[in-house]
Structure 1
Amino acid sequence: MTGAPDGPDGPDPDRPPAATSYGDRTINGGTFGDRSTFNFGNWRTDEPFTIVPLLPLLAVVTAAVYAALTWPGGPQGQYLWFYLGVSSAFTLSVLCAAAGPAPRGPDLRGPQKPRDPRNARDPQKPGDPRDPRAPQGPARAAGAAGAAGATALSKPSTVRVLLLSGALVLALLGLTGLEDVRRNGQVAVAITVLGAQPLVDSEPDKWTLVVPASAPARDHLRILLTVADDDPTTPTCVHRTEAILKATTPGVTPHEQRVPAQGVARFDLGGHRGEVTVDVTLDTRTNCAMRVAHASGTLFND
């Protein structure tokens, strides 16, 4: 730690404050009027916008954590607006944080001798034209220009304001896209298959597909059904098999659909909320034994 030595009679009140160095950082302390300031490298303790450049970055991080904790699932393509908004907001927030606080102009008034607080009849302040200590003539004009430049430079630049505003707006748009997916997006649901397997054409048995009541509320249901041969070593019956799906839940339409052994059936839930059941029977060749190889559902809105 280094510093300027004092005079033989103690500190000189007319000498400007000394700079103290710690490693590669310099700390400058000073007093302007009744306000103390400290300069730590490029960041000032009296800088009112020090934390502002970090706000967009904090907002983006908060949005990412919120999305991770409440992710609704479903196809990734429906999250395009969320990904675009958050990634763009992150880029702008990093640029805004890297810009740091706005630089301050130099103080051209030079060191100021503080007013004696014990002299109550001396209302003069440094820089008062009546104060014999204040710079006069060109020096006074230069000091005024320096103070005005410092004030102008201490305000956030237009670029920083645009970066900050853009990052916050894009983060908000990303969250809006996420909420839209949460309320209207496609959601995969597990389907339970009830009934004995395999089914043979000569038997009147059926399967029942059940969508749980805990599934998110949507207007439509899409069922992907795959029926396969029970014994893969026998001649295949897949191309000769059709599945007949009958909705047994009131209000669900259409009531009956016929799809191939590997097909998709769509149902309009008609505002129904809760468990949905669909019966499945087979139309296949005689003595063809079939089983459900796969059944999955997707809930979605228009």
Structure 2
Amino acid sequence: MTGIDHPETFHGLPVLTLPDPGDPDGVPLPAADTVAWRLESAWRGDLTFAALWKHFLDSVDTTKVRALLIGPWWQDDYQSFAPVVDLLTADADRFPSLRALFLADVVGEECELSWLEMADITPVVEAFGKLEELTVRGCGDDYGDRTRLDLRPVRHTSLRTLRFESGGLPSDVVRAVGASELPALEHLELWLGTSEYGGNAGVEDLAPLLSGAALPALRHLGLQNSEIQDEIAAAVASAPVVAQLTSLSLAMGTLGDEGVEALLSGQPLTHLASLDLHHHYAGEALVERLRNLLGDRVNCDIDEVEDWDPEVDEFRYVAVSE
């Protein structure tokens, strides 16, 4: 898992990992609303996530908690995220101030993205009706009997930022986002990944998002980390949603000459404040044409050109897969 780190801040707050119960250092905990609380139980002896959760509820004034991150929740073997979902939803009424939630804040040294045992996160979204920011990390990998990430269509009137960080985002999750009622959503970021790790979404699955009708408040759209980045760029080039955006990202994927050509010949992008295409495979001539077209009006990140020779290299790679 490359390009993924633990955030130092979340929802504008510094991240603090909750100490173990009975921490010998005895450092007093900060006020509940001054930090983003991170919970992790892996590699902490006999401490289960359920026990850590109880310690959290007993030690922190959860009525004032504004941001929460769930780190590694297993002990010795990787385990399903479903029990964490159950705990979160059962105690949702104890978090009236919660505005930001990060599910599976896990990095490669702890567990590869495709190895995470995820679950249906719909109950969490439904339980926290005042949530403004949700980040979900995890794949749709079908290896063995690992549990896939899942989401059903929801109605949520407060959510403003939604991020799925994945090396393979299942098509049913993509369709569920498009079928959801999210009238306040301003920032949407989907790391679509590769089919090898469960990322089976096609351009047709993105149609409700690209139409603009599903997300009236949307200002940033990221359709990233995809092995079909050229096809996505071609669809975006004529997508109605682009007119309402202030920023667009097609970064981290396999974008090549075909995709950049589509952007050059498509609808104007000069109204954007920023266009992120970093980690791409396009030729220097096309990149220069795009820079000239956008000029100084658009902050265009088209750096991080991947070393790839079509006559030698068989595959192009996304930035984050396993």
Same topology, TM > 0.5: no
Greater strand share, 1 or 2? 1
TM-score (norm 2): 0.19
Higher relative contact order (CA 8 A, sep 6+): 1
Greater Cα radius of gyration, structure 1 or 2: 1
